[in-house]
Protein backbone atom coordinates (compact mmCIF):
# COMPACT_ATOMS: atom_id res chain seq x y z
CA UNK A 1 0.00 0.00 0.00
CA UNK A 2 1.07 3.59 -0.46
CA UNK A 3 2.43 5.70 2.37
CA UNK A 4 -1.01 7.32 2.81
CA UNK A 5 -2.74 3.97 3.28
CA UNK A 6 -0.48 2.03 5.59
CA UNK A 7 -1.30 -1.59 6.31
CA UNK A 8 -0.29 -2.64 9.78
CA UNK A 9 1.01 -6.07 10.65
CA UNK A 10 -1.71 -8.70 10.54
CA UNK A 11 0.27 -11.64 11.86
CA UNK A 12 -1.94 -11.76 14.94
CA UNK A 13 -4.57 -14.44 14.48
CA UNK A 14 -7.59 -12.27 15.22
CA UNK A 15 -6.88 -9.36 12.85
CA UNK A 16 -7.35 -9.85 9.12
CA UNK A 17 -6.86 -6.23 8.01
CA UNK A 18 -5.52 -3.17 9.79
CA UNK A 19 -4.82 0.04 7.87
CA UNK A 20 -4.51 3.72 8.68
CA UNK A 21 -5.58 6.09 5.90
CA UNK A 22 -4.09 9.60 5.96
CA UNK A 23 -4.27 12.62 3.63
CA UNK A 24 -1.23 13.43 1.52
CA UNK A 25 0.86 16.47 2.39
CA UNK A 26 3.42 17.04 -0.34
CA UNK A 27 5.28 19.81 1.49
CA UNK A 28 7.07 18.81 4.68
CA UNK A 29 7.31 21.08 7.73
CA UNK A 30 10.93 21.85 6.86
CA UNK A 31 9.89 22.65 3.28
CA UNK A 32 7.19 24.96 4.63
CA UNK A 33 9.74 26.85 6.73
CA UNK A 34 12.04 27.23 3.72
CA UNK A 35 9.13 28.43 1.55
CA UNK A 36 8.09 31.00 4.16
CA UNK A 37 11.69 32.17 4.55
CA UNK A 38 12.04 32.69 0.78
CA UNK A 39 8.62 34.39 0.54
CA UNK A 40 9.36 36.60 3.56
CA UNK A 41 12.75 37.63 2.21
CA UNK A 42 11.22 38.41 -1.18
CA UNK A 43 8.45 40.49 0.38
CA UNK A 44 10.99 42.38 2.50
CA UNK A 45 13.33 43.16 -0.42
CA UNK A 46 10.53 44.15 -2.80
CA UNK A 47 8.74 46.10 -0.06
CA UNK A 48 11.88 48.11 0.75
CA UNK A 49 12.31 48.92 -2.95
CA UNK A 50 8.73 50.20 -3.11
CA UNK A 51 9.21 52.26 0.07
CA UNK A 52 12.36 53.84 -1.42
CA UNK A 53 10.39 54.60 -4.59
CA UNK A 54 7.70 56.31 -2.51
CA UNK A 55 5.02 53.64 -2.79
CA UNK A 56 5.12 52.72 0.90
CA UNK A 57 1.55 51.24 1.07
CA UNK A 58 2.73 48.34 -1.14
CA UNK A 59 4.98 47.17 1.71
CA UNK A 60 2.00 46.79 4.05
CA UNK A 61 -0.12 44.95 1.49
CA UNK A 62 2.78 42.61 0.75
CA UNK A 63 2.97 41.79 4.44
CA UNK A 64 -0.76 41.03 4.49
CA UNK A 65 -0.32 38.69 1.51
CA UNK A 66 2.51 36.91 3.33
CA UNK A 67 0.30 36.45 6.40
CA UNK A 68 -2.52 35.07 4.23
CA UNK A 69 -0.09 32.59 2.66
CA UNK A 70 1.08 31.51 6.11
CA UNK A 71 -2.46 30.98 7.44
CA UNK A 72 -3.54 29.12 4.29
CA UNK A 73 -0.71 26.62 4.78
CA UNK A 74 -1.44 26.30 8.50
CA UNK A 75 -5.08 25.52 7.72
CA UNK A 76 -3.97 22.93 5.17
CA UNK A 77 -1.63 21.28 7.68
CA UNK A 78 -4.39 21.20 10.29
CA UNK A 79 -6.68 19.29 7.91
CA UNK A 80 -3.79 16.85 7.41
CA UNK A 81 -4.17 15.66 11.01
CA UNK A 82 -7.31 13.74 10.05
CA UNK A 83 -7.06 9.99 9.55
CA UNK A 84 -9.14 6.83 9.35
CA UNK A 85 -8.31 3.45 10.85
CA UNK A 86 -9.91 0.37 9.29
CA UNK A 87 -9.64 -2.97 11.12
CA UNK A 88 -11.16 -6.32 10.28
CA UNK A 89 -11.16 -8.57 13.33
CA UNK A 90 -12.69 -11.99 13.95
CA UNK A 91 -15.92 -10.31 15.05
CA UNK A 92 -16.39 -7.17 12.93
CA UNK A 93 -15.06 -4.50 10.62
CA UNK A 94 -14.28 -1.39 12.66
CA UNK A 95 -13.79 2.07 11.18
CA UNK A 96 -12.48 4.89 13.35
CA UNK A 97 -12.40 8.37 11.83
CA UNK A 98 -10.50 11.16 13.61
CA UNK A 99 -11.21 14.71 12.44
CA UNK A 100 -8.53 17.44 12.35
CA UNK A 101 -9.95 18.72 15.65
CA UNK A 102 -9.60 15.31 17.27
CA UNK A 103 -13.30 14.35 17.20
CA UNK A 104 -13.57 10.56 16.93
CA UNK A 105 -16.32 8.73 15.05
CA UNK A 106 -16.70 4.94 15.15
CA UNK A 107 -18.60 2.55 12.89
CA UNK A 108 -18.90 -1.22 13.05
CA UNK A 109 -20.01 -3.58 10.28
CA UNK A 110 -20.78 -7.29 10.22
CA UNK A 111 -18.26 -8.75 7.71
CA UNK A 112 -20.56 -11.56 6.58
CA UNK A 113 -22.83 -9.17 4.68
CA UNK A 114 -20.31 -6.41 4.01
CA UNK A 115 -20.22 -4.98 0.49
CA UNK A 116 -17.20 -2.98 -0.68
CA UNK A 117 -17.94 -0.87 -3.73
CA UNK A 118 -15.98 1.52 -5.90
CA UNK A 119 -16.04 2.57 -9.54
CA UNK A 120 -13.85 0.57 -11.90
CA UNK A 121 -11.77 2.15 -13.31
CA UNK A 122 -11.42 4.60 -10.43
CA UNK A 123 -12.11 8.25 -11.19
CA UNK A 124 -11.38 11.40 -9.22
CA UNK A 125 -14.95 11.49 -7.87
CA UNK A 126 -15.06 7.74 -7.09
CA UNK A 127 -16.07 6.77 -3.58
CA UNK A 128 -14.92 3.77 -1.60
CA UNK A 129 -18.14 2.70 0.10
CA UNK A 130 -18.70 0.08 2.80
CA UNK A 131 -22.31 -1.13 3.04
CA UNK A 132 -24.12 -3.63 5.25
CA UNK A 133 -27.67 -3.97 6.56
CA UNK A 134 -28.89 -0.69 5.03
CA UNK A 135 -26.00 1.37 6.40
CA UNK A 136 -23.12 2.69 4.35
CA UNK A 137 -19.97 4.66 4.98
CA UNK A 138 -17.57 6.36 2.56
CA UNK A 139 -13.93 5.98 3.57
CA UNK A 140 -10.68 7.33 2.17
CA UNK A 141 -12.22 10.41 0.54
CA UNK A 142 -8.87 12.22 0.86
CA UNK A 143 -6.93 9.48 -0.98
CA UNK A 144 -6.15 9.51 -4.69
CA UNK A 145 -8.33 7.28 -6.90
CA UNK A 146 -5.47 4.79 -7.28
CA UNK A 147 -4.94 4.65 -3.50
CA UNK A 148 -8.68 4.13 -2.90
CA UNK A 149 -8.67 1.28 -5.45
CA UNK A 150 -5.66 -0.27 -3.72
CA UNK A 151 -7.35 -0.09 -0.31
CA UNK A 152 -10.59 -1.50 -1.76
CA UNK A 153 -8.78 -4.47 -3.29
CA UNK A 154 -6.80 -5.20 -0.12
CA UNK A 155 -9.98 -4.96 1.97
CA UNK A 156 -11.89 -7.24 -0.42
CA UNK A 157 -9.13 -9.85 -0.13
CA UNK A 158 -9.15 -9.61 3.66
CA UNK A 159 -12.95 -9.97 3.82
CA UNK A 160 -12.77 -12.99 1.47
CA UNK A 161 -10.12 -14.52 3.74
CA UNK A 162 -12.35 -13.81 6.75
CA UNK A 163 -15.36 -15.46 5.06
CA UNK A 164 -13.31 -18.49 3.96
CA UNK A 165 -11.99 -19.00 7.46
CA UNK A 166 -15.46 -18.91 8.98
CA UNK A 167 -17.02 -21.09 6.27
CA UNK A 168 -14.31 -23.72 6.87
CA UNK A 169 -14.94 -23.53 10.61
CA UNK A 170 -18.67 -24.18 10.13
CA UNK A 171 -18.05 -27.00 7.64
CA UNK A 172 -16.19 -29.08 10.24
Phi-psi domain of 89 (left: phi exceeds 0; alpha: psi -120 through 50; beta: other): beta
pLDDT in tens, 20-66: 999 988 888 899 999 999 999 999 999 999 999 999 999 999 999 99
CA–CA separation, 125 and 110 (whole Å): 27
- Determine the pLDDT at residue 158: 95
Q: Which CATH number among 2.60.40, 2.30.29, 2.40.50, 2.60.120 corresponds to the domain 5-23+84-171?
A: 2.30.29
Q: Which of 85, 45, 51 is nearest to 66 (CA)?
A: 45
Is the separation of the CB atoms in 98 and 82 below 8 Å?
Answer: yes
CA–CA separation, 136 and 132 (whole Å): 6
> Degrees (nearest 5) of the Cα angle 92, 96, 98?
180
pLDDT in tens, 88-129: 999 999 999 999 999 999 999 999 999 999 987 778 888 999
Can you give the pTM of this predicted structure? Answer: 0.74
Amino acid sequence: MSEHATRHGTDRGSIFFDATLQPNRSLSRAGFRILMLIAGTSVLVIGVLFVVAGAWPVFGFSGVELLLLYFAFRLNYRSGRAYERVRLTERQLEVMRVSPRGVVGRWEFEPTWLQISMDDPPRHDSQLRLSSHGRSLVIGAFLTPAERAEVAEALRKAVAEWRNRWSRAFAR
